[in-house]
Amino acid sequence: MISVEQALEQILSHVDVLEEKEVPILDCLGQVLAEDTYSSINVPPLDNSAMDGYAVQSTDTQGASRQSPRFLRVIDTVAAGYISRYEVELGTAIRIMTGAPVPKGADCIVRFEDTDETLREKASTEIGISAELKASTNIRRAGEDITKGAKILSKGTVIRPAEIGVLASLGHSRARVIRRPVVAILATGDELVDVNQPLPEGKIYNSNTYSVAALVLRYGAIPKILGIALDNEGSVVAGLRQGLDADMLITIGGVSMGNYDVVKDVLAKEGKIAFWTVRMKPGKPLAFGTIKGTSKTGTARDIPHLGFPGNPVSSMVSFELFARPAIFKMMGKKNLAKPTIEAVIENAIMNRDGRRIFARAIVEQRGGQYFARLTGAQGSGILTSMSLANGLVIVPEDKAGVEAGDVVQVIMLDWNEEMVQFKNIRQEV
């Protein structure tokens, strides 16, 4: 049996960064930028006003105060998006709105609050200035955000909403990114029935296809659902054939020791098995190998195949530990690990068979410290224990267990914004 680290290392050694693709900027959220991005414009393009107020010459404000305002002649009004035809000279002012280009001649903007505008008629041709301003006050300089010619985003950047905004501010409608992997998902099991069907006696609904497909989506890849295969080689092979154009194949179930667990046999015949057990709980029977497929251009290639155990918790935990990093590597990401924190565990957990335990837990912060408590029964078929959890407590394989009060490592599945919700659900239970 190999360790979690060895398993991950082998899986990662079989996946490569995918090709680049140009996509509309809104489609590339969470993807990795494939090229350095330079700006061909200044942002903002012109000096403009940071305030609603009056564009004036700062020398005209010298000595101005509430008690003795300086009175200037208003010669124009300019809104954002327009350029005044007039020039500000000594003794004059142009009424200006936030974002409007600073008129010629003006070197500062007096905000409305520092004038007597509220005391005047709307169309007054005079304004009283009641504050002394230095040159440049309330002016946003051309190029102060982005300078023409500068490198703005580096290759390798993970695109977040802010980067999409930056791309838009440069006028780009598309970006070159590493494309999203397609992950084909095949459920196996004579007992499985798809959602929305009547449930005959002895059967269960196929939940794993959906939890795994949702994880694929959550981490930025594209699920390709291959449906349900029966517990025989022919059916599994036929199912897998539908996914040979994918970047990764995931089968669910059929990898344990039972008579009908045929996925390993299929993997051995149709490809190569790298390993099939990992020293972890849940998820010990986890097969990995490669299956021969074809690329879009028709050339032969090996597709990484992850054979998850069928228990609903096992397949989700296996996904987080192994499929997620592999998907991230294909997407060109560098940080493959989920965040891990230290927390005080509030339950004892026994480790009887020397495997690394990933226990479902609720992590909460109290008084500047994290606390983790188990979500209840830890059987790998109890999917609701996963739904209640926001973290996985790690019990190392070389420890006989942990005691309440021990400090443990916890892999965070979700962070704070969702934690409130977990707490509420927990209280209702």
Q: Which residues bind ligand AMP (CB under 6 A)?
A: 187, 189, 191-192, 204, 206-209, 252-256, 258, 261, 309-312
Tokens read off for 226? 């291959």
Under DSSP, is residue 214 helix (H, G, I), strand (E, B) or coil? helix
Q: What's the min distance (Å) between Cβ of 262 and Mg ion?
A: 9
**Hey, what's the torsion of the CAs at 270, 274, 275, 279, to 10 degrees?**
-150
Q: What's the min distance (Å) between Cβ of 204 and ligand AMP?
A: 6
Tokens read off for 416? 């704070």
The amino acid present at 59, given as its one-letter code, is T
Which CB sits closer to ligand AMP, 174 or 203?
203
Question: Which of Mg ion, ligand AMP, none lies near 375, with the C-beta cut-off 5 to 8 A by kind?
Answer: none
Which CB sits closer to ligand AMP, 110 or 250?
250
C-alpha to C-alpha distance for 149 and 232, rounded to whole angstroms: 61
The amino acid present at 163, given as its one-letter code, is E
Question: Which of Mg ion, ligand AMP, none lies near 187, with the C-beta cut-off 5 to 8 A by kind?
Answer: ligand AMP
Q: What's the min distance (Å) between Cβ of 207 and ligand AMP?
A: 4
Which CB sits closer to Mg ion, 31 or 188?
188
Question: Which of Mg ion, ligand AMP, none lies near 143, with the C-beta cut-off 5 to 8 A by kind?
Answer: none
Under DSSP, is residue 318 helix (H, G, I), strand (E, B) or coil? helix
Which CB sits closer to Mg ion, 93 or 306?
306
End-to-end CA distance of the chain: 38
Break the chain down into helix, strand, coil percent, rounded to 5: 25, 35, 45
Q: What's the min distance (Å) between Cβ of 3 and ligand AMP?
A: 21
Total number of residues that touch Mg ion (CB under 5 A): 4
Phi, psi dihedral angles at 290 (to 5 degrees): -130, 150
Q: What's the min distance (Å) between Cβ of 350 and ligand AMP?
A: 23
C-alpha to C-alpha distance for 19 and 247, rounded to whole angstroms: 11
Question: Which of Mg ion, ligand AMP, none lies near 192, with the C-beta cut-off 5 to 8 A by kind?
Answer: ligand AMP
Which CB sits closer to ligand AMP, 128 or 254?
254
* Cα atoms found within 13 Å of the Cα of residue 27, Cβ hemisphere only: 14
C-alpha to C-alpha distance for 114 and 291, rounded to whole angstroms: 73
Question: Which of Mg ion, ligand AMP, none lies near 312, with the C-beta cut-off 5 to 8 A by kind?
Answer: ligand AMP
Indicate the residue whose CB is closest to ligand AMP: 310
In this chain, which of 189, 271, 285, 309 binds Mg ion, going by CB under 5 A?
189
Q: What's the min distance (Å) between Cβ of 398 and Mg ion?
A: 31
The number of helices, as runs of H, and strands, as runs of E, in the chain is 9, 27
Long-range residue pairs from 98-106, CB within 8 A, at least 24 positions apart, any chain:
98/49, 98/50, 98/51, 98/52, 99/48, 99/49, 100/48, 100/49, 101/46, 101/47, 101/48, 102/46, 102/47, 102/48, 102/49, 102/55, 102/139, 103/55, 103/76, 103/78, 105/57, 106/55, 106/56, 106/57
Say which residues have a Cβ less than 8 Å from residue 142's Cβ, sequence separation at least 6: 42, 44, 45, 46, 47
253 binds Mg ion (CB under 5 A): yes
Phi-psi domain of 84 (left: phi exceeds 0; alpha: psi -120 through 50; beta: other): beta
CB 364 within 8 A of CB 371: yes
Tokens read off for 410? 């916890």
Which CB sits closer to Mg ion, 220 or 307?
307
Question: Which of Mg ion, ligand AMP, none lies near 311, with the C-beta cut-off 5 to 8 A by kind?
Answer: ligand AMP
307 binds Mg ion (CB under 5 A): no
Question: Which of ligand AMP, Mg ion, none lies near 208, with the C-beta cut-off 5 to 8 A by kind?
Answer: ligand AMP
Question: Which of ligand AMP, Mg ion, none lies near 89, with the C-beta cut-off 5 to 8 A by kind?
Answer: none
Q: What's the min distance (Å) between Cβ of 2 and Mg ion?
A: 23
Q: What's the min distance (Å) between Cβ of 389 and ligand AMP?
A: 18
Question: Which of ligand AMP, Mg ion, none lies near 90, with the C-beta cut-off 5 to 8 A by kind?
Answer: none
Which CB sits closer to ligand AMP, 191 or 233?
191
Q: What's the min distance (Å) between Cβ of 381 and ligand AMP?
A: 6
Residues 109 to 148: which contact Mg ion by CB under 5 A?
A: none
27 secondary structure, DSSP code: G
Which CB sits closer to ligand AMP, 285 or 391?
285
Q: What's the min distance (Å) between Cβ of 253 and ligand AMP?
A: 3
Which CB sits closer to ligand AMP, 11 or 230?
230
Residues making contact with Mg ion (CB under 5 A):
189, 253-254, 310
